Amino acid sequence: MTPRAFTHLPELAGRLTPADASGLRLTDEVLAAWDAQAREQGLPPDWRLPDEEVERSRQAVLAGRDGEDLWVFGYGSLMWNPGIHFREVRRARLDGFARRFALATTIGRGTPECPGLVLTLRRQAGACHGLVFRIHHSLVETESRLLWRREMIRGGYCPALLPLDTPQGGVEALVLTANTAHPQYCHDLSLQDTAAIIASACGSIGSNRDYLGQLNEQLDLLGIEDGHVRELSDMVQSKVAKARHETRDRPTMTEVYAP
């Protein structure tokens, strides 16, 4: 990640987690730590997809692209923690999709007892605005393997190469859309229920609320307006404030048993 990578978006320099400092860069060591955490939480041995299945998915999507750079669309945590070495980043628009907190997670931002929610892309009218990163062709093999491990660890997405618009011209990029057949995909979650989950869930890499906050910060930095995310954020803040107020007003044991 050199200064030239931020030619089109200088405001992002210093605002992204470097790849080698990312806890979401799933090297063998990081993956082993996640496996250990899964065992501690009581998740079954098949809590994640087998490495062979993840690799088959990667090869199927990237077949015939030897020697080409790879663009990757970021609309959630990739926007602030891409976990990959890239040569260029641009603003990007994907038509026909919207970002939604609709994929349950029991590791990372939640637990088996209190699952959290992470972002996915749902087909609907309109467009999703985010970032697109260019991986140099010499690094595609290594970087795409690590990216597939991260995003396809439980098979919650359908990776595909789709056209994006950028201010510098159109590109074809890897996009991770919702796998609506996945058992952890939440089809009809209301905004109220989504806010309640995000307000309370927390996992090994942080709270679900922090994930939403990081998304908001990055959208604000880039001047991207997402009405759904804004409404959801307001609702989460309201729920958190209400919970704190109720906790503060709850009588202490001394008060309850005072003579």
Instruction: List active site positions.
Output: 151
Residue 210 exposure: Cα atoms within 13 Å on the Cβ side: 11
Question: Looking up tokens 């790879």, which residue turns up?
Answer: 70
Q: What is the DSSP letter of 259?
A: -
Rounded CA separation 27/256 (Å): 53
DSSP string, 64-75: T-TT--EEEEES
CA–CA gap between residue 133 and residue 39 (Å, rounded): 34
Strands 171-178 and 157-164 come out as: antiparallel
Residue partners of 98: CB distance under 8 A and separation at least 6? 121, 122, 124, 126, 128, 228
Radius of gyration of the chain (CA): 20
The Cα–Cα gap between 145 and 66 comes to: 14
Q: How many CB atoms lie within 10 A of CB 225?
A: 10
Q: What is the DSSP string of 41-84?
A: TT--TTSS--HHHHHHHHHHHHTT-TT--EEEEESSGGGT---S
And the tokens for 171?
């590109």
Do residues 182 and 158 touch, judged by C-beta distance below 8 A? no
